[in-house]
Amino acid sequence: MIRILLNGCNGRMGQVVSGMVKDDEGITIAAGVDTTPDRFTNDYSVYSALNTVKEKADVIVDFSNPKGLPILLAYGIEKKIPMVICTTGHSPEDKENIKSASEKVAILTSANMSLGVNLLLNLVKQAAKALEENFDIEIIEKHHNQKIDSPSGTALIIADTINNALKEKKEYVYGRHSKTGKRTFQELGIHSIRGGNIVGDHSVIFAGAGEVIEVNHSALSRDVFAVGAIRAVKYLYNKKPGFYNMDDVIINK
């Protein structure tokens, strides 16, 4: 039985993970951490800070806030507990700190835990290589009106995946607000839409002369992210220190 320490347990995704784990005989939540520990009634102990947790855990699952990353990494390293970091909105410095921490403890991180999104990344990589000489590339992402970061971490990962596959790197252009003039071929447009309760929708458009190719992914519920996070937990359990991602999870299905 794998014991999870769920950081951000009373947030939207924390509660989805809590519900899904109940139906998985191989995983249990040993304890949770949240800045509002009394917000919900959970069937496990909830603490307001990581350093006050009494229960032992095998893997930390983080669906909290990027501001808490330093404390999370320090705790994981000190306790030698592998971490599945699902939180988005990390700065370049944060990402470097995660990689440095992975030299001491196993860490799996992804801007999007959905298995489908990670498959989309592989598809757009192939498309970018095949179409880069004649096609403009645009990314559109849509999320609910409570999402804090913009553009989404997933949109940025898609853009980076495309750029890394190209012979000549593109320049990221965000929204083109107040920008006049024709689109240049060196641009890679990234556009954000916020509204209602859209769980997550990402479209990658390859627009050429006379034809358009689109690769789309729509998350119809937050369950898809919880499924991916649980798969990641099972993969990371007992892993040696290192930096892992969802590609590792998919390949080792």
- Catalytic residue (one of 143, 170, 202, 217): 143
Q: Active-site residue 147, yes or no? A: yes
Residue-level pLDDT at 81: 98
* Local confidence band at 237 (pLDDT 50, 70, 90 cut-offs): very high
* Local confidence band at 30 (pLDDT 50, 70, 90 cut-offs): very high
The string of pLDDT tens digits covering residues 82-123 is: 999 998 888 999 999 999 999 999 999 987 888 899 899 999
Query: Is residue 3 marked as binding?
Result: no
Task: Please name which of 223, 67, 215, 209 lies closest in space to residue 149, comparing C-alpha atoms.
Answer: 67
Residue-level pLDDT at 89: 81
| Cα-based distances in Å from 17 to 9, 50, 87, 148, 224 | 8, 18, 14, 20, 10
Query: Is residue 13 marked as binding?
Result: yes
Top-ranked range on mean pLDDT: pick from 86-95, 125-134, 146-155: 125-134
Percent residues over pLDDT 90 in the chain? 85
How crowded is residue 79: how many other Cβ atoms within 10 Å of its Cβ?
Answer: 15
Residue 253 pLDDT greater than 70, yes or no:
no
Instruction: Give, as one character, the DSSP assignment of residue 210.
Output: S
Query: Is residue 12 marked as binding?
Result: yes
Cα dihedral across residues 194, 196, 201, 205: positive or negative: negative
Cis peptide before 151 (omega within 30 of 0): yes
- Catalytic residue (one of 79, 125, 147, 234): 147
Residue-level pLDDT at 222: 87
* Local confidence band at 250 (pLDDT 50, 70, 90 cut-offs): confident
Residue-level pLDDT at 153: 86
How crowded is residue 182: how many other Cβ atoms within 10 Å of its Cβ?
Answer: 6
**Contact yes or no for 159/230 (Cβ under 8 A):** no
Residue-level pLDDT at 187: 96
pTM: 0.79
Query: Is residue 110 marked as binding?
Result: yes
The SS3 of residue 22 is: coil
Q: Which domains does the chain have, with CATH numbers?
A: 2-109+222-251 (3.40.50.720), 115-219 (3.30.360.10)
Query: Is residue 202 marked as binding?
Result: no
Query: Is residue 10 marked as binding?
Result: yes
